[in-house]
């Protein structure tokens, strides 16, 4: 039966673990942006009004809902580098899942619902970011964008969680 304890687990997972998994995903995009010479990188956690900024990260009012990696330009801008930027979030989710699983398997971390939920939400975000589709707003998923970039058919480099700002853009919110 679904009880109070289950509701508490869900709320904990939704309001703490999900944003951490989202941060890991967006850090994957930002990592590859950094490697390929992206300028003015910023990770945005959540949506809505800005609550505060910390280094190159912005936390928004609804911190548990979505996020974005914003940057301007790349020094190394080609099909392969763009593809790796799109896949970077899923790569980081996969690596974090395997690391946690390995630590639990080796009994370095104690098996708990926290790690189970972390792996679950990591897989969830990784799966739906890689699923090759267009979102209702017309932006491609990371998997679709990587496929289009590799085929050199991606005209606009904006996905659900990546925003390439034009050099004259001030600030934007997804």
Q: Residue 22, Cβ neighbours under 10 Å: how many?
A: 25
Q: How far is CA 57 from CA 1, 8, 74, 109, 123, in A?
A: 40, 28, 19, 29, 23
Rg (CA), the chain: 17
pLDDT at site 165: 65
- Contact present, 28 and 88 (Cβ < 8 Å): yes
- Contact present, 141 and 129 (Cβ < 8 Å): yes
Spell out the per-residue pLDDT of the chain, length 174, in tens.
Answer: 678 888 888 888 889 999 999 999 999 999 999 999 999 999 999 989 999 999 899 999 998 888 999 998 899 989 999 999 999 999 999 999 999 999 999 999 999 889 999 999 999 999 999 999 998 888 899 999 999 988 887 666 677 777 776 544 444 444
pLDDT at site 138: 85
pLDDT at site 172: 41
pLDDT at site 1: 60
Burial class (CB in 10 A: 0-12, 13-18, 19+), 56: middle
Among 55, 44, 48, 69, residue whose Cα is nearest residue 142: 69
pLDDT at site 157: 64
pLDDT at site 161: 77
- CA dist., res. 108 & res. 115, Å (int): 12
- Contact present, 66 and 21 (Cβ < 8 Å): no
Rounded to the nearest 5 degrees, what angle is found at the Cα of 116, between the Cα atoms of 114 and 119?
Answer: 110
């Amino acid at each position: 039966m679904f009880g109070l304890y289950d509701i508490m687990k869900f709320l904990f997972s939704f309001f703490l673990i999900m944003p951490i998994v989202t941060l890991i995903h967006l850090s994957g995009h930002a990592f590859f942006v950094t490697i390929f010479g992206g300028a003015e990188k910023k990770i945005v956690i959540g949506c809505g009004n800005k609550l505060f900024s910390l280094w190159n990260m912005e936390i928004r009012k609804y911190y548990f809902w979505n996020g974005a990696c914003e940057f301007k330009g790349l020094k190394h801008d080609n099909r392969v580098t763009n593809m790796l930027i799109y896949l970077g979030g899923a790569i980081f989710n996969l690596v974090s899942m395997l690391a946690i699983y390995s630590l639990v398997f080796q009994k370095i971390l104690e098996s708990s619902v926290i790690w189970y939920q972390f792996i679950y939400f990591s897989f969830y975000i990784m799966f739906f970011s890689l699923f090759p589709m267009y979102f209702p707003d017309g932006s491609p998923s990371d998997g679709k964008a990587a496929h289009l970039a590799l085929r050199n058919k991606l005209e606009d480099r904006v996905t659900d969680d990546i925003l390439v700002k034009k050099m004259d853009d001030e600030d934007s919110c997804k």
